[in-house]
Structure 1
């Protein structure tokens, strides 16, 4: 082979290599652009879901599922309300997309009272209501004429009185089927217990002034009271599961469905059991 021909073949191979490299570079650039475009497109499709919640355990459980929802294109914004009484009005006024703080009997009572058009999206947990005292060490120490603090909102007042009935302290009249009762509905009170009806949030602070009080577990946790110190409490069969509540029609929204699914996984169940023990029981 002549030197001239050898050089011609070498140059040809070099040119082919450069062309191939150029094509590869162009393809790599195109691939990078495609990935960036897909990422931008995915980001643009992300939605923000605003949920109003009580601080403990509700907001803590929601924050636990935040990363999983973010992977699914849902940016969960958890807004803690110090005044839980404002959570339903905020949902009704579309300040938030959902709330998480209440059980179904309470929801039913306020829907009837306020005319809210709300729906339950999913059940998450039960907080067994319990009897707490700074003066007594066991339920057997509850004396004649003891003063007991109970919540003054209809559904939780009924719940507290039913718990006392289950423990044998009182008997309620028959026919109470709407989750509402007051001390006026007591037909037997052998220990002549006296009842102080108070806002649920004030009951932990009232413990020095009463013989005992029946308190919702989320308020017990917020007040740094050991939930294991309850002298007695509801069992896990309580109908008072805390629920995600949305405006009617929104329960079929894709982001709400993703939230429901994220809150009812084995990982969430383990988180609840490990973090709260007897104080909070998964309802799924």
Structure 2
């Protein structure tokens, strides 16, 4: 009789422990804090103002980790020390994945500010003269955008069989105005405006350098799908509750209404 009671007690104890473990595992599966990698640009500001409030209503806490350079944010995302970042386009991500052997994927396409041709000295394309200097970004994805913009402006001709997102200096087939095209770090271009006649600058760099009032728009980018900004996550996290909550927030009516109210100057290009 004693043995039966002992066995019954042991079975009950195991059942309690089993339920407790199951409860613990279920709880741990639900993530309530989203860690976002932040750099100084308008995409993170848009997230803070229009997306974070929606996520907070859904019960999520937002933790921000600051990075001085975006590549650091991508490295942290790949390593899993942050959950998401919002400041890159798919073309850049593909190159990063290829070079770093990572598995980042786009979660949702967000509003984007185009990379465009500007000048702090001139106001029109007609001001172009032979031998002028044009500064453009040196990283491959943004350099490709710059060459496409210069081709759209009619200043150079490029190979027609090369994708616009893959253009490089070697794909220039004609430079009739003998332009001196200087590739440099995107962060450097706003600091050397006086040394350049024209410059191609990504929208995020214009914002972070606060040079909107110092430059004139010459030619706006024809934004390709691969160049639209995305929220990025690791591949394994795409279908998690928190990732889908971010996606839902960007695609919500509340977010759409915010953009209608705060995009009267059409600075933002909405997802296609």
In the superposition, the TM-score normalised over structure 1's length comes to: 0.79
User: 8 Å contact 1:159–1:179 — kept in the other structure?
Assistant: yes
1:99-119 deviation per Cα after TM superposition (whole angstroms, max 9, x unaligned): 111001111111111111111
Q: Which residue of 1 aligns with 2:219?
A: 232
Shift of 1:235: 3.7
Q: What's the C-alpha RMSD, in Å, of the aligned pairs?
A: 2.1
Q: Which residue of 2 aligns with 1:98?
A: 84
> Is 1:173 aligned with 2:131?
no
Q: Which residue of 1 aligns with 2:117?
A: 131
Shift of 1:178: 7.6
Q: What secondary structure sits across from 1:214 in the alignment?
A: strand
The change in CA–CA distance for 1:238 and 1:274 in structure 2 (over 3 A counts) is farther
Structure number, greater radius of gyration = 1
Q: Which residue of 1 aligns with 2:34?
A: 49
Instruction: Map 1:109-148 onto structure 2 (within 5 A).
Output: 109-148=95-134
Q: Which residue of 1 aligns with 2:44?
A: 59
Structure 2 residue runs of 5 or longer lacking an equivalent are: 1-26
1:115-172 deviation per Cα after TM superposition (whole angstroms, max 9, x unaligned): 1111111100222111111111211101111100000011110111001111111111
Structure 1 residue runs of 5 or longer lacking an equivalent are: 1-41
Q: Which residue of 1 aligns with 2:271?
A: 283
User: 8 Å contact 1:52–1:81 — kept in the other structure?
Assistant: yes
Which structure: greater helix fraction? Answer: 1
1:213-261 deviation per Cα after TM superposition (whole angstroms, max 9, x unaligned): 1000111112222288311111456541100111112000001100111
The change in CA–CA distance for 1:62 and 1:184 in structure 2 (over 3 A counts) is same
Q: What secondary structure sits across from 1:100 in the alignment?
A: strand
In the superposition, the TM-score normalised over structure 2's length comes to: 0.82
The change in CA–CA distance for 1:243 and 1:158 in structure 2 (over 3 A counts) is same
Aligned residue-pair number:
241
Range moving further from structure 2, 111-120 or 260-269:
260-269
